Amino acid sequence: MTDPEQACPIAPVVDIVFSRWTTPILWTLHEFGRQRFVELERRITTITPKVLTQRLRQLERDGLITRTYHPEVPPRVEYEISDLGRSLAPLFAGLATWAAEKLPEVDRARESYDAARSKV
C-alpha cells in the first residue's frame, strides 16, 4: 500500500506554501516590496506578533523570503520575498483566476448542500 503523502507529489508544496499566514505574508511582500516587521504587522492586521515572527522564521528557513539585518542604532531588520518565493507567482496567479471563476460555483454548491442538510 502506498503512503498517501508519497502518492501525492504536491503534498510537501501544499504544506509549505499553504500553511496558515504564508500566503498573506508572501502576497504582502510581493505586492509592497521590502518591509519591516511593524509594516507587515500593520498590513496583516489579524496576525499576532508571535505568529508573524514564527512564520517569518519558517519562510526564511524555507528560502521563500530573505531577512536583512542592518546594524544601526536602533537596529533595523527588513524582509523581502526571495527569487524562490517570487517563482510562486504563476501558481498564485492561477489560483486567483480559479477563485474568480469558480468560487461562485463553490458558494452555490455549499448553499445547495446546506439546504439539503437542513431538511434532514
Report, as an integer, the average pLDDT of 68-72.
Answer: 94
**What is the Cα–Cα distance from 28 to 35, expressed in whole angstroms?**
9
Using the Cα atoms of residue 88, residue 93, residue 94 and residue 95 in order, give the sign of their dihedral: positive
Output the CA angle 113-119-120, nearest 5 degrees.
Answer: 95
Taking the domains of the chain in order of start, what are their residue ranges? 4-87
How many helices (H) does the chain have, and how many strands (E)?
7, 3
Looking at residue 33, its pLDDT comes to 96
Cis peptide before 12 (omega within 30 of 0): no
Residue whose C-alpha cell reads 518565493 in the numeric block: 85
Looking at residue 5, its pLDDT comes to 62
Report, as an integer, the average pLDDT of 82-103.
Answer: 93
Top-confidence residue, 2 or 19: 19
Report, as an integer, the average pLDDT of 56-79.
Answer: 95
Computed over every residue of the chain, the mean pLDDT equals: 92
**What is the Cα–Cα distance from 16 to 45, expressed in whole angstroms?**
22
CATH of segment(s) 4-87: 1.10.10.10
Q: pLDDT tens digits, residue range 23-52? A: 999 999 999 999 999 999 999 999 999 999
Nearest CA among 48, 39, 1 for reference residue 21: 48
Band of the pLDDT at 12, cuts 50, 70, 90?
confident
Q: What share of the chain in percent tops pLDDT 90? A: 73
Q: Which three cell numbers stand for residue 13?
A: 508544496
Whether 3 has a pLDDT exceeding 80, the answer reads: no
